[in-house]
Amino acid sequence: MNRLAAFCILPAAVATAALAQNADEASGIPARTPEQVWASSCGYCHGGPMNAPQLRGRGLPEQLVVFFVRNGANGMPPFHQSELDDETLQALARWIHESPAPPSEQPR
Amino acid sequence: MSSIEPPSPETLSGFFRECAAIVGQEWVKVGEDEVAPYGWVAIPFDTAAHMPAGAICPHSADEARAVVMAANRAGVALWPTSTGRNIGYGSSSVADPGTVVLDMRRMNRIEDFDPDLGTVVVEPGVTYHQLQEFIEANGGGYWIDFPGPGPIVSPLGNTLERGHGVTPYGDHFAHSCGYEVLLADGTTFRTGLGGVEGTTSWQSFRYGYGPTLDGIFTQSNFGVITKMGLWLMPAPETYRTLMAVWPEYDDITRLTDCIRDLRMDGTIQTEGVMGNAGIFMAATHRRSDVWDSREALPQELAINTAKEFGLGAWNYVFTLYGRADRVEADYTEAKRRLEAAGATVTDGRDEQAINELTLKSFALFNWTGGGGLTWFSPVAPLRGADMKRQFDLVRAVMDRHGVDFMVGVAFGERAALNVMPMAFDRGDAEWMGRVRDCYTELVGQVTEAGYGIYRTSLGWMDEVARRHGEANLEVNRRIKRALDENGIIAPGKSGIRS
């Protein structure tokens, strides 16, 4: 490990699609695909060399994902309905359940 | 210590019914399962100690105003949050029992972007991730400065806590300009030049006319901020990140004096961050693998391990910005002087310094596992002797309580914010108790030694306020009573109650 990798803990490089300012006017919550939710939050820790558990490619039960997102776990804060509605969360949980592990990730 | 009394169940029920008529029933969170996540904390206190009595989620400043006015009539306390991720300082939990969270995450509009002046207005629920995407979608040309948990937290929330990042715009309060303030009685006003009819300059001139009020609404509970102006950093022509490493603990004296001079004469334009060997250990190891003990991590072990990775007791990462000729000149000068003060200087990389959002700071949670983290954050004047004195004092207290000494130093020009994460396993009551006792003793010892504290967590706000002057606290109480007669906004925030 070189000195900077050791010190800085490089995060995942996360590509994101532009989605700013398209919040649903009734709820105030942006309409987002699972990939967009992943890119804007989960993927920072669960998608790269951070030591957060890898989630994709493990067939995680959807309800388990929903529970941890809503209630938090260890260092992960909860994500409330005021930022992630039930429908979007359910779609995210299904996407995580069904996603294969990316080539760079090995489930641990 | 007077405070608003917790409301009766009947009062609370009536308030929630009124809120349902304002924001809609689904945005009034009263069920135990719905409210419990708002009490999620990393700090060393049981969640029950700071659990909110409910949460209301307005969608607009008008809804927030109606909720605040209803709370004022009913005598129900509200705890305003942006994203509620003041992690390690209390998250979205509350100081006093019976307080209801005013969750403004749904208020997430970005307005009035000025591509010439690099200014923008954000609501509380906007995140740095959202803001960065907005800038890129609107032509780019500007960078954001963000704190450790940047992607998932709010520029408005972090600025009101007087948070810091690592670019030349790292002092977030200093780069905010113009607040829209909602007072407890429903009065709404704009600070700075926001009160001028048809104002052209709300986001470009901070001070306004007469007293400048922005500061009294930071780390404060005098009002609810529903909009904030923010200055954006022009994307630099080029940049260069460097790391200066000092091998030994006692180098803190000469390195402080050297960096201060480089900061004061402008060679280094940013605070950067200097991590000690303990921070390096926490970011790269699991504690149980290298020091499975109730005693504090020995600094010698941390420093020797750091040296194996080409690091040292002190590791200062900073970035130079600007035109290529300026960066080159600043590089030559900084390297010469840092090396003369005993450092080894190499090129480095820091995503946080170059507009690349990251959550790498969350690696701290891996050190102990168990989700426990709080920050002890004393200020030191930038004199080498003072930095060493403060760190010696803190280390002695931490060693006595078996708490690992970790520090990330933000170098201002004349003062350092010495942000010290205290990590622990929240499932281990004895460990959590030791961290609590350690923090309490540190508050006493550090202030008795003449140092102040930059920011603190729920659980210590009263004591820290008391240590910063009884007269100061009384002035804050008088302002509180003038602006929030019934004391309904965030009672206990920074130790202030009506």
The beta-carbon neighbor of B151 closest among A8, A40, A70 is A40
Helix H or strand E encompassing A68: helix A62-71
The beta-carbon neighbor of B370 closest among A10, A41, A74 is A74
Sheet containing strand B314-322, edge to edge, reads B344-347, B238-246, B314-322, B273-276, B408-411, B415-425, B371-381, B453-455
Chain B CB within 8 Å of residue A16 CB: yes
Query: How far is residue B175's CA from residue B201's CA, in Å, rounded to a whole number?
Result: 15
Q: Which residues of A touch B349 (CB under 8 A)?
A: 4, 8, 10
B364 to chain A, closest Cα gap in Å: 9
Residue positions counted in chain A: 108
Per-residue pLDDT band for A23 (boundaries 50, 70, 90) equals low
Chain B CB within 8 Å of residue A64 CB: no
Q: Which amino acid is at B304?
A: N
Sheet containing strand B55-56, edge to edge, reads B28-29, B55-56, B100-103, B78-81
The beta-carbon neighbor of A75 closest among B29, B133, B371 is B371
B72 to chain A, closest Cα gap in Å: 23
| pLDDT for residue A20 is more than 50 | no
B479 to chain A, closest Cα gap in Å: 32
Instruction: Determine, for residues B349 and A4 on separate chains, whether the beta-carbon distance falls below 8 Å.
Output: yes
Instruction: Determine, for residues B359 and A11 on separate chains, whether the beta-carbon distance falls below 8 Å.
Output: yes
The beta-carbon neighbor of A82 closest among B106, B364, B369 is B106
Residue B8 confidence (pLDDT): 95
CB B193 within 8 A of CB B208: yes
Interface test with A, best of B104, B138, B279, B362 (most A CBs within 10 A): B362
B213 to chain A, closest Cα gap in Å: 30
Chain B CB within 8 Å of residue A27 CB: yes
Chain B CB within 8 Å of residue A31 CB: no
| pLDDT for residue A8 is more than 60 | no
Instruction: Determine, for residues B358 and A83 on separate chains, whether the beta-carbon distance falls below 8 Å.
Output: no
SS3 content of chain B, % helix, strand, coil (to 5): 40, 20, 40
Q: Which residues of B touch A86 (CB under 8 A)?
A: none
Instruction: Determine, for residues A28 and B59 on separate chains, whether the beta-carbon distance falls below 8 Å.
Output: yes
- What proportion of chain A, given as a percentage, has pLDDT over 90? 52
Instruction: Determine, for residues A45 and B130 on separate chains, whether the beta-carbon distance falls below 8 Å.
Output: no
Closest chain A residue to the Cα of B280, Cα to Cα: A7
Instruction: Determine, for residues B283 and A30 on separate chains, whether the beta-carbon distance falls below 8 Å.
Output: no
| pLDDT for residue A1 is more than 60 | no
Task: Quote the Cα angle for B419-B422-B428, to 5°.
Answer: 165
Per-residue pLDDT band for A27 (boundaries 50, 70, 90) equals confident
CA A104 to chain centre: 16
For B197-241, what is each residue's pLDDT tens digit?
999 999 999 999 999 999 999 999 999 999 999 999 999 999 999
Q: Can you read off the two tokens belonging to residue B476?
A: 């804050």
CB B296 within 8 A of CB B403: yes
Beta-carbon contacts of residue A95 (< 8 Å; ≥ 6 apart): A34, A35, A38
Instruction: Determine, for residues A6 and B370 on separate chains, whether the beta-carbon distance falls below 8 Å.
Output: no
Instruction: Please tell me which residue, B61 or A10, carries the higher pLDDT value.
Output: B61
Per-residue pLDDT band for A11 (boundaries 50, 70, 90) equals very low
Query: How far is residue B138's CA from residue B140's CA, in Å, rounded to a whole number?
Result: 6
Q: Which amino acid is at B451?
A: Y
Per-residue pLDDT band for A47 (boundaries 50, 70, 90) equals confident
- B495: DSSP letter: G
ipTM of the complex as predicted: 0.91
Ordered DSSP codes for B257-308: HHHHHHHHTTSS-S--EEEEHHHHHHHHS-HHHH--SSSPPPHHHHHHHHHH
Helix H or strand E encompassing B314: strand B314-322
Interface test with A, best of B19, B111, B122, B133 (most A CBs within 10 A): B133
| pLDDT for residue A50 is more than 70 | no
| pLDDT for residue A14 is more than 80 | no
- Within 10 angstroms of residue B185's Cβ, the number of other Cβ atoms is 14
Q: Which residues of B touch A31 (CB under 8 A)?
A: none
| Dihedral-angle region of residue B39 (phi above 0 means left; psi in -120 to 50 means alpha; beta otherwise) | alpha
Would you call B420 helix, strand, or coil by DSSP? strand
Residue A105 confidence (pLDDT): 56
Residue A19 confidence (pLDDT): 35
Task: Quote the Cα angle for B417-B419-B425, to 5°.
Answer: 170
Query: How far is residue B44's CA from residue B428's CA, in Å, rounded to a whole number?
Result: 10
Residue A16 confidence (pLDDT): 30
Chain B CB within 8 Å of residue A9 CB: yes
Instruction: Determine, for residues B365 and A75 on separate chains, whether the beta-carbon distance falls below 8 Å.
Output: yes
Query: How far is residue A12's CA from residue B135's CA, in Å, rounded to a whole number?
Result: 21
CB B336 within 8 A of CB B258: no
* Residues in a beta bridge with B409: B274, B418
Query: How far is residue B339's CA from residue B337's CA, in Å, rounded to a whole number?
Result: 5
For A77-108, what is each residue's pLDDT tens digit?
999 999 999 999 999 999 999 999 887 655 44
A80 to chain B, closest Cα gap in Å: 8
**What is the mean pLDDT of each successive set of 10 residues along chain B, which is 498 residues long?**
83 98 97 95 95 97 98 98 95 96 97 96 97 96 94 97 96 98 98 97 96 97 98 98 98 98 97 96 93 96 95 98 98 98 97 94 92 97 98 98 98 97 97 98 98 97 97 97 98 96
Q: What distances in angstroms separate CA B440 from CA B35, B44, B285, B455, one per listed residue?
A: 29, 11, 28, 14
Residue positions counted in chain B: 498
CB B120 within 8 A of CB B230: yes
Per-residue pLDDT band for A12 (boundaries 50, 70, 90) equals very low
Closest chain B residue to the Cα of A74, Cα to Cα: B371
Chain B CB within 8 Å of residue A21 CB: yes
Query: How far is residue B205's CA from residue B128's CA, in Å, rounded to a whole number?
Result: 23
Alpha-carbon torsion (B375, B381, B383, B389), positive or negative: negative
Chain B CB within 8 Å of residue A50 CB: yes
B454 to chain A, closest Cα gap in Å: 23
Q: Which residues of A touch B278 (CB under 8 A)?
A: none
* Closest of B315, B273, B300, B290 to residue B419, by C-alpha: B273
pTM (2 d.p.)? 0.93
B405 to chain A, closest Cα gap in Å: 17
Q: Which residues of A touch B359 (CB under 8 A)?
A: 11, 44-45, 50
Q: Which residues of A touch B311 (CB under 8 A)?
A: 3, 6-7
- Within 10 angstroms of residue B100's Cβ, the number of other Cβ atoms is 28
- Within 10 angstroms of residue B60's Cβ, the number of other Cβ atoms is 16
Rg (CA), chain B: 23
A55 to chain B, closest Cα gap in Å: 17
Residue B312 confidence (pLDDT): 97
| Dihedral-angle region of residue A44 (phi above 0 means left; psi in -120 to 50 means alpha; beta otherwise) | alpha
Residue B124 confidence (pLDDT): 98
